[in-house]
Amino acid sequence: MLMTPPAPHPLLECGVAVRAPGRLHLGFLDPSASLGRRYGSLGLVVDGFETVVELRRAETTGFSAADAPAQAEGERALAHIAALQRATQRSTPLHLHLARVLPAHAGFGSGTQLALAVGRAFAALHGLDLATSALARLLGRGVRSGVGIAGFDRGGLLLDGGPGEDGRTAPLLARLELPGDWRVLLVLDPSLRGLSGAGEKNAIATLPAFARGDAAAVCHEVLMRVLPGAASGDFAAFAAGLNEVQRRVGGHFAPAQGGRLYISARVERLCHWIAQHGVAATGQSSWGPTGFAILPSQAEAERLLAQAHASGAVDAALLTTLVAARNIGASVQPLDSSFTC
């Protein structure tokens, strides 16, 4: 049961803006529960990609979007508003504006970040003290992974323990900040979309069981190389551990991706080229098609990307961008107080 909320903060009476960062899903620990607990996720929040939601009190309910990708998310965003209104018994008319959205079904956690951004804006506007995990449950997020929820709150490199059988949000087991010099090369293929919804459920249902030995190996790599490497600044250990995680987990999901570790052959080619010509942690985020290469410095990232272009390894259809890890979560700010409610 929801408690009677406190009065809204004066600056939030008219409107609020929430900026939610994108995240990379770097792999599951045990997708088949061969060691007793299903899923468990490793994820990384990144700069440069975000969903921006603006929510205002209004005379009539309305929606607007800054561009076509944001417009395409309108129905889903408004459904979140309706669900929140039912759950909290708040029916005040609201105007929702999507100023920016993460690429949909591309490996950035766009669905979870949209839901949480709308949920946090709704809660702030109404003075509701709702934890992010509670918003996620209300809006049907975090069924398999908790890194998007934890990333919304805190940013960073995140490890969760998988959702409980009772439907509780996956507990956050570890959070670290990547060394400030490290960079992430993101490789996007706009021509493709990763699996989602019913397609994702069907794919997971048809996959063979993840071997117990593979689950144990992934857990060992995360606990003894990925996390210690990040914590101590040992990039070689971090990269070696994450590459092994991607190899084993990617192999498990490959039957649903045409037998490949990457859904996009273009992305796969570039990530493999980088792995062969430098020390890097490479892989695909979630179902892709976005690939990544984590590198030890801006200079090394720029060098490898320039050489990849010169060698012809970068397909013209790809989009590449260098970003840093983001060590803070979403931001919540009042909209311009000159706006009249």
pLDDT tens, residue by residue, 150-187:
999 999 999 999 998 777 899 999 999 999 999 999 99
CA–CA gap between residue 155 and residue 48 (Å, rounded): 13
Tokens matching residue 2: 């929801």
How high is the pLDDT of residue 341? 53
Predicted confidence band of residue 3 (pLDDT cuts 50, 70, 90): very low
Residue 205, CB-side half-sphere exposure with 13 Å CA sphere = 6
Q: Using a cut of 0.95, tell me whether the model's pTM lies above it.
A: no
* pLDDT confidence of residue 337: 54
Summary mean pLDDT of the chain = 93
Q: 26 with 239: CB under 8 angstroms?
A: no
Give the residue extent of every domain in the chain. 10-176+328-334, 183-323
- Specify the pLDDT at position 196: 80
Q: Which of 52-61, 164-173, 261-270, 283-292 has the lowest mean pLDDT?
A: 164-173
CATH class of 183-323: alpha beta
In this prediction, residue 12 carries a pLDDT of 52
Range name among 9-18, 106-115, 231-240 with the lowest pLDDT average:
9-18
* Domain 10-176+328-334, architecture per CATH: 2-Layer Sandwich (3.30)
Is pLDDT above 90 for 8?
no
Q: Where are the beta strands (DSSP E) in the chain?
A: 15-30, 39-57, 62-65, 94-100, 157-160, 172-176, 183-188, 281-284, 291-295, 319-323, 331-334
Banded pLDDT at 247 (limits 50, 70, 90): very high
Residue located via tokens 């000159």? 338
pLDDT at 301 over 90: yes
